[in-house]
Amino acid sequence: MGFDNVLITGAGGFLGSHLTERLLKKGHRVIAVDNFCTGLKSNRPYLESLPEAQDRLFFVEADVTAPWEPWLKNLPDFVLKKVSHVLHFASPASPPLYQEMALETMWVNSIGTNRAMEFADGVGARVVFASTSEIYGDPDITPQPESYWGNVNTVGIRSCYDEAKRFGESLIFTHNLKKNTRHGFVRIFNTYGPRMNPSDGRVVINLLVQALDGKPLTIFGEGKQTRSFCYVDDLCAGIELYAQSELTEPVNIGNDREFTILELAQIVQRMFPEKKLDIRFMEMPKDDPRQRRPDLTKAKKHLQGWAPRIALEDGLVHMRRWLESQARA
Ligand code: UDP
């Protein structure tokens, strides 16, 4: 199912802004919706200044948990009627921010997902919901295939996010079943790249910001826990292919090269040899997953040979350059 006009929630955020740019550059109109509760404010002027945005980007500052009618009615009919896809990416995504905005996180992934589907059904569009590897919780098996049901604490500090995303998945599944629709969702593994909010708190941006400031790199626990880091362009390519497909089942999207957090910190140390960065070991947060690595068999099979291509070492250089350009601006 090819794209026509696309509505992206969370378009001012990290992933949403990359998807917006990508689709604008492919010639589509984008309705970009965000309330900037976590997204970097400068992402809006960045997107609006793209030559491709001039008569094709419609930016709306709104909370997608609240009714959509007040802003939908201000959008031109010819744009709304031809919306083929709704990419529902609005949600805090970093552990410190989703814990701070725990209830908002629960509502945007439940009520917000329902509103996205109601709108989409009205115009005949397909929703793609940003689910997450967090639905696997602290996994007992590695790598994690989509068939794994997960190991999630319902009453822990991460449950507001994990369970909200699980509910979002379940809502889409049930909505499809009852209303005969074909909405879908992708399970996104740790992703990094330019336009992350520097105060977001996730490990890659944290370590790079600390390195640029010449501060010690913070590692939670002993750094033996693992993550598998995907560069944002690889992720967006996979999401685009999933959206264009007719798939309604979950597909993992990420990079399956696995690193301990200590290894990540050592890579960052080697990127800045002149800074002689120390490592500061800090208390391990509760319920922090011990391992995480996507099984990408399904993605490779169903997404036209898609595979992540950008090595962590190269992606980190792109991200460093972007951070340095921000510091100069
Ligand atoms: N982490 C760390 N130092 C930091 C931030 C995070 O050691 O400054 C660890 C965190 O405990 C987790 C991993 O890095 O084990 C990835 O954390 P992140 O917040 O990026 O996302 P998560 O995958 O836990 O959702």
The domain containing residue 241 runs over which residues?
5-192+231-256+287-309
Whether residue 151 is contained in a domain is answered as yes
Whether residue 264 is contained in a domain is answered as no
- Residues in contact with ligand 1 by the CB-under-6-Å rule are 94-95, 190, 202-203, 206, 218-220, 225, 227, 261, 285, 288
- The model's confidence at residue 328, banded by pLDDT at 50, 70 and 90, is confident
Whether residue 274 is contained in a domain is answered as no
Domain at 133, CATH number:
3.40.50.720
Report the number of distinct structural domains present in the chain: 1
As a whole number, the mean pLDDT across the chain is: 97
Whether residue 241 is contained in a domain is answered as yes
Q: What is the pLDDT of residue 300?
A: 98
What distance in Å separates the CA atoms of residue 231 and residue 228, rounded to the nearest whole number?
10
Instruction: Count the alpha carbons within 13 Å of 250 in the hemisphere toward its beta carbon.
Output: 27
What is the rounded average pLDDT of the residues 64-82?
Answer: 97
pLDDT above 80: residue 211: yes
- Closest residue by Cα to atom 19, ligand 1, is 202
Atom of ligand 1 at shortest distance to CA of 223?
7
pTM over 0.75: yes
Whether residue 37 is contained in a domain is answered as yes
- What are residue 200's phi and psi, to 5 degrees? -65, -40
What is the rounded average pLDDT of the residues 271-279?
Answer: 97
What is the rounded average pLDDT of the residues 16-40?
Answer: 98
Whether residue 53 is contained in a domain is answered as yes
Whether residue 139 is contained in a domain is answered as yes
**What is the distance in A from the centroid of ligand 1 to the CA of 101?**
18
Q: What is the pLDDT of residue 1?
A: 76
Whether residue 248 is contained in a domain is answered as yes
What b/e readout covers 235-260, taking b as 16+ CB neighbours within 10 angstroms?
A: bbbbbbbbbbbebeebbbbbbbebbb
Please identify every residue annotated as catalytic: 161
Q: What is the pLDDT of residue 329?
A: 77
- Closest residue by Cα to atom 21, ligand 1, is 202
**What is the distance in A from the centroid of ligand 1 to the CA of 203?**
5
- Closest residue by Cα to atom 13, ligand 1, is 203
